[in-house]
Structure 1
Amino acid sequence: MARDGARPAYDPAGHDGELRAALQEVRTGRWLSMRTLLERTTHWWQWTQRTQVLAAGAAGTDVIRAWLAEEPDSVPATVMRARVAVERALRAHRERHRRTHELWIEAWDMSQGAARAAPRDPVPWVCLLALAQLDREQSWEEHRAPPPDPTLPPGPWGLLEEAVKRDPHNREAHHRMLQFLYARSASGRPAEAAAFAYLAAEDAPPGSALHVLPLYVRVERYRRDGGREAALDLHWVAEDATREALHAHTAWFQHSAAAERSPLDLNHLAHALWGAHRFADAARVFDAIGPYRTPLPWAYRTAVPGDHAQAAQVFLQARARSRSAAPPTDG
């Protein structure tokens, strides 16, 4: 990829041009492009990623309802209905909306229905995992299953098992488990999440996005410690931080296909390598990112974490610093 100085923009579709086109249609209330795209999606990693992005775009519309009105027996539409219901429940939870519990139960029912309609699909189980974080007290029995390792707490491990049974090393399923563990440790350091991330990375094959999980935990630790007010750059040049960054670069980036890389994973890896002063490696990841920056983790390196303009500036500074220390490559 050419090394240009263009200012990158956030696009949830990233390098997936077909997804971008379908998402634009969804936002205007049209569903035919979404149906066609999902019919052509044959890999579980891509199906999981595309349904997640499309659901975020559809959550503020009635597009899935319109699709089901025309095709009530459509399995993809049934899965998308669950996806959208989960997205709405999670948004309500973040906003502390009074209908959160109602939307949660509705999303759980729809996810169960999607699991019955699509028994080989990991996404309904990913949906159920996503909802587990709302049960912070672990009142539901399925959220108190015994852990697979003594370093981990009871949790929705059965839901994770169902997802990975259908798609081993499913990226989103593991991130949803991380979110559940973060919710458990909302007032403290995410030690349980770190243990889970390391175990998942150890078991992952070369090229798996699970090798990037420890970088997310490190960012979360930094955020909870107060962001740029706590230890500043020393957090990122520590020996274990550098080791995590290099492992993700070697085990994931160097073995993964460009089309399969999540923009969020790429941005976390570039951020970690830049923070560890591994500028030549970071430059190659910045080249892979191209024009599709994500707000996180860059926003956590700003004075105001919610300021996307500042986050973009941090990204540009990190990219420029990394490229200035790396040899040029042909575009």
Structure 2
Amino acid sequence: MILGRHRKPAPRLAAEVDDTELGPVWRRLTGRGTGHTRVLVAPLVQRLLDDAGDDWDRRAHRLAVLTASTRPSTQRSWAQHDSRHPDAHTLFAWEAMARGTRTPTADAEFDETVGAGVTAARLRPHDPNPWVVRLGLLRQRRRPRTEAFPVWREIAARDPWHREPHVQMYGYLSHREPHVQMYGYLSPRECGSRAQSMEFGDRAQAAIPATAPAAGLPLMALIDRYHAALSREGVHGLMADRLRDGPEASRVLDRALQAWTPAGQLRHAAALADLNLLAYALTAARDTARVATVFGAVAGVVTPHPWGHGCYDPVLTFPHAQRRADATR
């Protein structure tokens, strides 16, 4: 018998989440496990994005990770020297959009980023990701619905179940960066209201196919409401248990369990992020009979959201919940 054969995988954060092709490239670009060897960045990035083909959601996931692991100067150089490649412009624009969630961009940089997105959209008209960048930029500038919703419709016409624009509209805690709150365009902290945000989540729940890249949005909404209830004092805080055990929660959890837990059902790049959401929600609902299957499917890959909620260390919170579920089975 091999010792440790049945030992659970050690919990770990993984920038690539489910994307096995992205992982080695990310490690080369960041020098992790490679002895900090020098690499030719542009060809490596270009090949990885080209390999994504018309899987726009996976391409967006790769853009997000690659912008965080390459220098803005490198991105700008690629856009300048390979001006006919749409991904060069999208990568450059995506980095500015991502940075704008933490530090507002200056007017000149905003205009330059919008221009890069326009160029990318012209070079590849059927690609929704330049439009995703524009939506993110409009959201950061709190631009009116008359500007944001036409962009949303352009995205939906090209890829109706793209994960990133759905969470741009609704809002979430990033599964890529610990404790980075991203309030959606329709949230009351930006250009909408709690009612508009909830309506968007409810309509998405009714329309999104159960295994689409955006299928995790109803769980995001459920967990968001649960956290909001927990943060309140008095009777609202005490009713958090009822909120998570109510009929709506049951419908969302049952649908996700039935559609996601058979092996191979979820194929999008952030599938493990969605399974982390499901494991967390089942843990909060004290559904120990069913959560073990989900923990097994996650295989130790931990996402900062939702396990890092409340400024906890997700790599410590996750195994604690897993051990608690095992102990009560």
TM-score, structure 1 as length reference: 0.79
How far 1:35 sits from its partner (Å)? 1.4
**Residues 257 and 50 from structure 1, CA distance in 2 versus in 1: closer, same or farther, beyond 3 angstroms?**
farther
Partner of 1:242: 250
Which letter maps to 1:144? T
Partner of 1:153: none
2:17·2:273 contact (CA, 8 Å) conserved in 1?
no
Structure 2, unmatched stretches of 5+, are: 32-38, 172-182
Partner of 2:27: 24
**Residues 50 and 280 from structure 1, CA distance in 2 versus in 1: closer, same or farther, beyond 3 angstroms?**
farther
1:15 aligns with 2:14: no
Partner of 1:168: 160
Q: Secondary structure at the match of 2:12?
A: coil
2:170·2:187 contact (CA, 8 Å) conserved in 1?
no
Which segment drifts farther, 162-171 or 219-228? 219-228
How far 1:233 sits from its partner (Å)? 6.0
2:169·2:184 contact (CA, 8 Å) conserved in 1?
yes
**Residues 210 and 18 from structure 1, CA distance in 2 versus in 1: closer, same or farther, beyond 3 angstroms?**
closer
1:246·1:273 contact (CA, 8 Å) conserved in 2?
no
1:291 aligns with 2:291: no
Match of 2:287 among 278, 284, 287: 278
Q: Secondary structure at the match of 2:211?
A: coil
**Residues 77 and 12 from structure 1, CA distance in 2 versus in 1: closer, same or farther, beyond 3 angstroms?**
same
Which letter maps to 1:65? R
2:42·2:78 contact (CA, 8 Å) conserved in 1?
yes
Root-mean-square deviation (Å): 2.9
Partner of 1:152: none
Which letter maps to 2:274? D
How far 1:321 sits from its partner (Å)? 3.0
Question: Higher relative CO (CA 8 A, sep ≥ 6), structure 1 or 2?
Answer: 2
TM-score, structure 2 as length reference: 0.79
Partner of 1:192: 196
How far 1:316 sits from its partner (Å)? 1.1
**Residues 36 and 82 from structure 1, CA distance in 2 versus in 1: closer, same or farther, beyond 3 angstroms?**
same
The 5-angstrom pairing of residues 176-325 of structure 1 reads 176-179=168-171, 181=184, 184-186=187-189, 190-225=194-229, 227=231, 230-231=237-238, 234=241, 235-254=243-262, 257-260=265-268, 262=270, 263-300=272-309, 305-308=310-313, 311-324=314-327
Structure 1, unmatched stretches of 5+, are: 94-98, 146-155, 327-331
**Residues 182 and 283 from structure 1, CA distance in 2 versus in 1: closer, same or farther, beyond 3 angstroms?**
farther
**Residues 255 and 214 from structure 1, CA distance in 2 versus in 1: closer, same or farther, beyond 3 angstroms?**
farther
2:212·2:268 contact (CA, 8 Å) conserved in 1?
no
1:111 aligns with 2:117: yes
> Sequence identity of aligned pairs in percent?
26
Report the Cα distance in structure 2 between the residues aligned to 1:256 and 1:17, rounded to whole angstroms.
14
**Residues 152-171 of structure 1: CA deviation (Å, up to 9, x unaligned):** xxxx2221221121123111
**Residues 251 and 196 from structure 1, CA distance in 2 versus in 1: closer, same or farther, beyond 3 angstroms?**
farther
Match of 1:91 among 89, 102, 109: 102
Report the Cα distance in structure 2 between the residues aligned to 1:55 and 1:86, rounded to whole angstroms.
10
Which letter maps to 1:64? Q
2:25·2:44 contact (CA, 8 Å) conserved in 1?
yes
Partner of 2:141: 135
For these two proteins, the number of residue pairs brought into alignment is 299
Q: Secondary structure at the match of 1:121?
A: coil
Report the Cα distance in structure 1 between the residues aligned to 2:215 and 2:15, rounded to whole angstroms.
21
How far 1:293 sits from its partner (Å)? 0.2
How far 1:267 sits from its partner (Å)? 1.0
